[in-house]
Amino acid sequence: MLRQIDQRLCKAAISARHNAYAPYSKFKVGAAILDEFDNIHLGVNVENAAYPQGSCAEAGAISAMIAAGGQQIKVIAVSGAGVELCTPCGGCRQRIREFANPQTEILICNELAFARRFLLEELLPASFGPDNLNT
């Protein structure tokens, strides 16, 4: 059973997904982050004709969180379409790790509803994070 906040995050990610800018791949992704102040921050993928210049939904949500004064991801939801799970790419897993701990929950949603829950450490095992740089 999903917690109420998980339902809100999935709904927010699914809704945000509709605003993604994906004219080339047609694969829209939305993300919603719950920060340490219980604020929700949204992001969408934004493609560019120069493909390497696009940005992922998770990166957009992280930027929105930082711009609003948050610094800790409590939970993140990601929404994509199709039968396969739309989990964060490798780069975004590392971006999430910068602002989350290995036990942070990542909710994966399709275009309609929640599909599966992961812990960050399941998607990015033996990760390198800010704590590795503390001497």
Rounded Cα gap, residues 100 and 90, in angstroms: 15
User: Is 105 part of the annotated catalytic residue set?
Assistant: no
Angle at 5 between CA 73 and CA 33, to 5 degrees: 30
Number of residues that this document lists for the chain:
135
Considering the candidates 36, 47, 58, 98, report the single residue annotated as catalytic: 58
Rounded Cα gap, residues 17 and 112, in angstroms: 11
State the angle between helix axes of 4-17 and 57-67 in degrees (0 to 180), rounded to the nearest 10. 110
Residues serving a catalytic function are 58
